[in-house]
Chains A and B, each alone.
Chain A
Amino acid sequence: MAIKSLLNLNRKKTKGVIVNSKNESSFPADLMTKCPSCRKIFLTKEIETNLKVCPNCDHHFKMTAWERIDSFLDVESFTPFDEHLRTTNPLNFPSYIEKVEADMKKTGLSEAVLTGSGTLKGEEVVVAVMDSHFRMGSMGSVVGEKITRAIEKATEMQVPFIIFTASGGARMQEGVISLMQMAKTSVALKRHSDEGLLFLSIMTDPTTGGVSASFASLGDLNIAEPKALIGFAGRRVIEQTVREKLPDDFQTAEFLLAHGQLDAIFHRKEMRDKVATIVKLHRKGGVTHV
Chain B
Amino acid sequence: MSKPMSFEEPIIKLKEKIDELRELAKNADVDMSDEIKTLEERLRQLEIKIYSNMEPWNRVQVARNPERPTTLDYIKEIFTDFIELHGDRYYADDEAIVGGIAFFDGQPITVIGHQRGKATKENIRRNFGMPHPEGYRKALRLMKQAEKFRRPIICFIDTKGAYPGKAAEERGQSEAIAKNLFEMAGLKVPVISVVIGEGGSGGALALGVTNRIYMLENSTYSVISPEGAASILWKDASLAKQAAEAMKITAQDLKEMGIIDDIIPEVPGGAHRDPVSQAKILKEYLKKGLDQLTALSEEQIIQDRYDKFRKMGDFIEEIVQ
Q: Known: A86-B315, A183-B205, A217-B175. Is A259-B224 also a contact (CB below 8 A)?
A: no
Cβ of B212 within 8 Å of any chain A Cβ, yes or no, is no
Residues of B within 8 A of A234 (CB): 164
Partner of A183, one of B170, B183, B254, B309: B309
**Bound form: Cα–Cα A194–B306 in Å:** 14
Q: Known: A84-B318, A172-B229, A210-B223. Is A183-B312 also a contact (CB below 8 A)?
A: yes
Proximity bits, B171-197, A CB within 8 Å = 1, else 0 = 111110111011101100000000000
Residues of B within 8 A of A213 (CB): 162, 173-174, 177-178, 202, 206
Cβ of A238 within 8 Å of any chain B Cβ, yes or no, is yes
Cβ of B239 within 8 Å of any chain A Cβ, yes or no, is no
Binds A, one of B24-32, B244-252, B268-276: B244-252
Residues of B within 8 A of A148 (CB): 310
Cβ of A115 within 8 Å of any chain B Cβ, yes or no, is no
**Bound form: Cα–Cα A154–B183 in Å:** 20
Residues of B within 8 A of A217 (CB): 172, 174-175, 177-179
Residues of B within 8 A of A142 (CB): 313, 315
Proximity bits, A179-200, B CB within 8 Å = 1, else 0 = 1111110111111011000000
**Bound form: Cα–Cα A132–B315 in Å:** 20
In contact, A85 and B209 (Cβ under 8 angstroms) = no
Task: Choose among A144, A175, A246, A250 the residue with the greatest number of B CB atoms under 10 Å from its CB.
Answer: A175
Partner of A187, one of B175, B253, B305: B305
**Bound form: Cα–Cα A250–B164 in Å:** 13
Partner of A259, one of B172, B233, B318, B319: B172
Residues of B within 8 A of A93 (CB): 246
Cβ of B259 within 8 Å of any chain A Cβ, yes or no, is yes
A125 CB to nearest B CB, Å: 21
Proximity bits, B298-321, A CB within 8 Å = 1, else 0 = 000000011001101111111110
Q: Which residue of B lies closest to A179 (CB)?
A: B223
**Bound form: Cα–Cα A63–B165 in Å:** 30
**Bound form: Cα–Cα A127–B108 in Å:** 44
**Bound form: Cα–Cα A213–B182 in Å:** 11
**Bound form: Cα–Cα A93–B232 in Å:** 13
Cβ of A261 within 8 Å of any chain B Cβ, yes or no, is yes
In contact, A175 and B185 (Cβ under 8 angstroms) = no
**Bound form: Cα–Cα A172–B257 in Å:** 16
In contact, A91 and B178 (Cβ under 8 angstroms) = no
Size of the chain B interface, CB-CB below 8 angstroms: 55
In contact, A210 and B201 (Cβ under 8 angstroms) = yes
B4 CB to nearest A CB, Å: 29
Q: Which residue of A lies closest to B165 (CB)?
A: A242
Cβ of A170 within 8 Å of any chain B Cβ, yes or no, is yes
Cβ of B49 within 8 Å of any chain A Cβ, yes or no, is no
Cβ of A233 within 8 Å of any chain B Cβ, yes or no, is yes
B25 CB to nearest A CB, Å: 51
Residues of A within 8 A of B179 (CB): 217-218
In contact, A175 and B222 (Cβ under 8 angstroms) = yes
**Bound form: Cα–Cα A233–B170 in Å:** 11
Q: Known: A187-B306, A217-B174. Is A182-B181 also a contact (CB below 8 A)?
A: yes
Task: Choose among A90, A181, A210, A259 the residue with the greatest number of B CB atoms under 10 Å from its CB.
Answer: A210
Task: Choose among B164, B229, B257 the residue with the greatest number of A CB atoms under 10 Å from its CB.
Answer: B164
B318 CB to nearest A CB, Å: 4
Chain A stretch 49-82: residues in CB contact (< 8 A) with chain B: none
In contact, B313 and A145 (Cβ under 8 angstroms) = yes
Cβ of B208 within 8 Å of any chain A Cβ, yes or no, is yes
Cβ of A141 within 8 Å of any chain B Cβ, yes or no, is yes
**Bound form: Cα–Cα A212–B169 in Å:** 11
Residues of A within 8 A of B314 (CB): 88, 90, 141, 174, 177
Residues of B within 8 A of A178 (CB): 223
8 pairs of residues in contact across A and B, judged by CB atoms under 8 Å: A91-B247, A175-B222, A183-B181, A183-B309, A214-B178, A215-B178, A232-B164, A233-B162
Residues of chain A at the chain B interface (Cβ within 8 Å) = 84-88, 90-91, 93, 141-142, 144-145, 148, 170, 172, 174-184, 186-191, 193-194, 209-210, 212-218, 230-234, 237-238, 241-242, 244, 246, 250-251, 259-261
